[in-house]
């Protein structure tokens, strides 16, 4: 099977000229938790085989959510099942195998569960500690289940078996070789979102061939390092081997997770009025379920896929709400979160029709890949932005660029000089005095669950004045990735007077056109009274025109805060007459009392949008908005353009499209045209 790795983009054209575009409720279960995910480690059609690798497992039973199953540390797939009185290919090594019958791994030492070829099997995954056995705690296998309610109830059920044969377990002197020299000792623990390599104690297996036990592990009243809360909408179940003598093995037959669901929707929260679209998609991969979407409380006819399109109307500043009702295999109905989309005014084309906008410049403050390494965007050539790798990070933090390396970028103080205030480092982390800043990712706080990452103490109080794990996140989520990756954000402990300039930079390489500048604001600390209160100011350096946004206010506590941990979008527009613009953030509040307890700003994702022709969105399947697919050799792949009202209005009903592909999409010069112009469907011939 070949996976299509190349990225594709489409361009819309009219028949006379060519225009290129960039494409940029209820909880499940209640008192009785429902089964949401399970595996019996079976492999369809593999019952006649001796063993399989873990990635071949497709036995998910009555799962409604597709789990991810991962192999633990140091185990390798057996490459033989040969055995003799003195040797065992499987048990002499630190091995694992997925099998329908343990005897197939070693006919002298493993028990026969009676499964014959053609039977559905009695599957499991078997682990061996080799000639040295296992000491300490070793991760054997993990199962990750997404789409769950942060902090919600859960129950994990694990069935485990002694897979050794009766003769092999008989340690009496009269027993012929091969046999164990001492009684069966293998033991396991079950960890659930464990921050340390530890888990809940479970009953030890008897030294009897085929002995089987079922462990039940539920969320505790008080969470621990071995049993943590559901966070990031995920639960990770770790099966840990804590003891295994040489020549022993243990079999995990099944893992089941019962939990409360929290179905999330992702998509753009603002769409240009006039017929632009955005795809709203469920974040969870459901199995054997049906879907029904609702818009503004009304059922949407035909909207029965994991994704739905919102198409904007002609009126601006209109909010729409969407949710999806999922019906499980068992007939239970689950309501997703409600997602809101606003139709906003963006631009007008030359015929005064509503037009689209596209992102032309951004700074997301970088993405860390380790505590020291990170990458940022370089917009020196605004038409061809590039990723730049850095190795000068420290404890998941980095400095802002300062002159002379980047004279167009600065954190400015009251006098407007290009003079960065001190960045908080090391021992200063819990002080973080007024006037300090840091650019940080993987921001953690004090709690036991936060013992990794940047460990910034009270600076890690995010959004609502609580530690990240209190909101179901392992670390403070930046706006770019919302906790799915180590995105950085700028922390500013404002220490100035009211009206002071607290952040600014000059942005170059722009064009003389109407632009909208957006950024996202949040705050930290536990201040009960002193919020951040800031506004954006942009200046066209060619004409001197200055535009200011409204004032944005945000508290960081649980009493006055109406946003929870959500980011506030801030924006302002301006008509540029030249190529340079100054972007500034001004503190409306300030002073000793205000700054001492509060006025702590987090900034992320500064973005500039310019008016543009309608965006072209392309999918492998329109109803589900499928953006990734696989193909076997010789199979064709179809691509579809979602032809919007805005395309029909601005370009015409007879629009054609040019399709391009690239295997290195960040290099804009690498994009190659497949064919065109064509209508709204493209078929790629697979000749491999």
Averaged pLDDT, groups of 10, the chain, 688 residues long: 42 36 33 85 91 94 91 91 92 96 94 77 93 93 90 95 94 76 93 90 94 95 89 89 96 96 86 88 85 96 92 89 90 88 82 80 94 91 87 89 42 40 50 75 71 79 81 85 90 79 84 90 81 92 96 78 80 92 86 68 92 77 74 72 77 78 77 74 55
pLDDT at 595: 60
| pLDDT value of position 459 | 83
Rounded Cα–Cα distance for residues 496 and 164 (Å): 71
Burial class (CB in 10 A: 0-12, 13-18, 19+), 687: exposed
Contact assessment for residue 123 and residue 40, using Cβ atoms and an 8 Å cutoff:
yes
What helix, strand, coil percent values describe the chain, rounded to 5? 5, 40, 55
Enumerate the domain spans of the chain: 1-24+615-688, 34-259, 263-349, 360-612
CA–CA–CA angle 485, 486, 491 (5° rounding): 135
pLDDT computed for residue 7 by the predictor:
46
Q: Which residues contact 45 (CB under 8 A, 6 or more apart)?
A: none
Contact 112, 30 (CB under 8 A): no
Element (H, E) at 519: strand 514-523
**What is the pLDDT, as a whole number, of residue 406?**
36
Q: How far is CA 315 from the centre of its chain?
A: 33
Question: Is the Cα dihedral 266, 269, 270, 271 positive or negative?
Answer: positive
End-to-end, the C-alpha distance of the chain in Å comes to: 10
Token digits of residue 679: 């209508």
What CATH number does the domain located at 263-349 have?
A: 2.60.40.10
From CA 592, how far away is CA 530, in angstroms rounded?
11
The residues with which 155 forms a beta bridge, in sequence order, are 218, 258
Tokens of 62: 């009555």
Q: What are phi and psi of 459, to 5 degrees?
A: -65, -20
Please, what is the Cα angle at 191 between 187 and 195, to 5 degrees?
A: 130
Which residues contact residue 151 at a Cβ distance below 8 angstroms, ignoring those fewer than 6 apart? 229, 230, 231, 472
Give per-residue burial for 472-502: e unless 16+ CB within 10 Å, then b.
bbbbbbbbbebbeebbbbbbbbbbbeeebbb
Q: What is the pLDDT of residue 683?
A: 62
What is the distance between the alpha carbons of residues 474 and 453, in angstroms, rounded to a whole number?
9
Q: Which residue has the tokens 């997301």?
A: 364
34-259 is a CATH 2.60.120 domain: yes
Please answer whether residues 472 and 147 qualify as being in contact, where contact means their C-beta atoms are separated by less than 8 angstroms.
no
Q: What is the pTM of this model?
A: 0.64
Q: Report the pLDDT value the prediction gives residue 420, as an integer from 0 to 100.
A: 46
Specify which residues 387 forms β-bridges with: 377
Nearest-angstrom CA–CA distance, 69 and 252: 13
Counting every residue written for the chain, the total comes to 688
- The secondary structure of residue 152, as a DSSP letter, is -
Peptide bond just before 677 cis, omega within 30 deg: yes
Beta carbons within 8 Å of 578's beta carbon, 6+ residues apart: 510, 512, 540, 541, 542, 543
Per-residue model confidence (pLDDT) at position 521: 93
What pLDDT was estimated at residue 117? 65
Say what the pLDDT of residue 650 is: 72
Instruction: Collect all residues with Cβ–Cβ distance below 8 Å to 532 and sequence separation of at least 6.
Output: 494, 521, 523, 552, 553, 554, 556, 587, 589, 598, 599, 600, 601
How many whole angstroms separate alpha carbon 384 and alpha carbon 509?
A: 11
């Amino acid at each position: 099977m070949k996976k299509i790795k190349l990225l594709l983009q489409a361009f819309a054209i009219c028949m006379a000229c060519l225009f290129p575009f960039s494409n940029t409720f209820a909880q499940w279960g209640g008192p009785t938790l429902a089964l949401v995910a399970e595996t019996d480690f079976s492999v369809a059609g593999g019952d006649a085989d001796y063993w399989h690798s873990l990635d071949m497992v497709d036995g998910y039973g009555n799962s409604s959510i597709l789990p991810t199953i991962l192999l633990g540390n140091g185990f390798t797939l057996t490459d033989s099942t040969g055995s003799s009185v003195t040797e065992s290919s499987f048990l002499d090594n630190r091995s694992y195998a997925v099998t329908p019958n343990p005897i197939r791994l070693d006919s002298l030492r493993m028990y026969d569960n009676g499964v014959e070829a053609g039977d559905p099997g009695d599957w499991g995954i078997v682990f061996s500690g080799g000639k040295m056995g296992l000491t300490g705690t070793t991760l054997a296998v993990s199962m990750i289940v997404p789409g769950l309610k942060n902090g919600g109830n859960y129950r994990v059920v694990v069935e485990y078996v002694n897979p050794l044969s009766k003769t092999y377990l008989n340690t009496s002197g009269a027993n012929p070789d091969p046999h164990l020299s001492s009684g069966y000792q293998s033991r396991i623990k079950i960890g659930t979102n464990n921050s340390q390599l530890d888990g809940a104690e479970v009953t030890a297996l008897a030294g009897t061939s085929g002995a089987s036990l079922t462990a039940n592990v539920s969320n505790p009243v008080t969470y621990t390092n071995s049993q943590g809360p559901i966070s990031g909408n995920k639960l990770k179940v770790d099966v840990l081997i804590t003891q295994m003598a040489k020549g022993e093995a243990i079999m995990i037959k099944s893992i089941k997770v019962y939990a409360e669901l929290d179905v999330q929707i992702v998509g753009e929260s603002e769409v240009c009025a006039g017929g632009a679209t955005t795809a709203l998609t469920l974040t969870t991969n459901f199995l054997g379920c049906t879907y029904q979407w609702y818009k503004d409380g009304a059922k949407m006819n035909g909207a029965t896929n994991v994704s739905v399109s919102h198409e904007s109307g002609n009126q601006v500043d209109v909010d729409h709400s969407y949710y999806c009702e999922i019906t499980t295999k068992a007939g239970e109905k689950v309501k997703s979160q409600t997602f809101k989309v606003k139709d906003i005014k963006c631009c007008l084309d030359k015929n005064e029709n509503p037009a689209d906008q596209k992102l032309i410049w951004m700074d997301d403050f970088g993405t860390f890949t380790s505590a020291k390494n990170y990458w940022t965007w370089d917009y020196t050539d605004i038409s061809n932005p590039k990723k730049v790798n850095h190795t000068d990070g420290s404890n998941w933090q980095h400095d802002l660029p300062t002159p002379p390396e980047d004279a167009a970028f600065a954190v400015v103080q009251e006098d407007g000089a290009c003079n960065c205030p001190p960045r908080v480092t090391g021992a200063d982390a819990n002080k973080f005095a007024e006037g300090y800043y840091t650019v940080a990712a993987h921001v953690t706080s004090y709690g036991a669950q936060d013992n990794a990452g940047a460990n910034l103490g009270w600076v890690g109080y995010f959004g609502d004045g609580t530690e990240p794990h209190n909101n179901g996140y392992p670390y403070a989520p930046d706006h770019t990735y919302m906790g799915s990756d180590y995105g950085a954000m700028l922390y500013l402990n404002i220490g100035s007077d009211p009206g002071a300039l607290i952040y600014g930079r000059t942005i170059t390489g722009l064009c003389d056109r109407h632009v909208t500048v957006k950024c996202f604001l949040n705050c930290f600390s536990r201040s009960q009274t002193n919020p951040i209160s800031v506004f954006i100011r942009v200046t066209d350096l060619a004409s001197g025109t200055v535009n200011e946004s409204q004032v944005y206010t945000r508290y960081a506590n649980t009493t006055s805060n109406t946003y929870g941990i959500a980011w506030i979008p801030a924006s302002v527009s301006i008509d540029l007459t030249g190529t340079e613009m100054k972007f500034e953030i001004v503190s409306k509040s300030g002073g000793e009392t205000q700054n001492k307890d509060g006025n702590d700003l987090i900034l992320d994702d500064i973005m500039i949008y310019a008016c543009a022709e309608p965006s072209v969105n392309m999918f492998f399947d329109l109803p589900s908005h499928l953006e990734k697919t696989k193909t076997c050799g010789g199979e064709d792949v179809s691509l579809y353009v979602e032809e919007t009202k805005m395309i029909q209005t601005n370009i015409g009903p007879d629009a054609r499209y040019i399709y391009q592909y690239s295997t290195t999409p960040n290099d804009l010069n690498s994009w190659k045209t497949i064919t065109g112009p064509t209508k709204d469907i493209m078929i790629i011939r697979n000749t491999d």
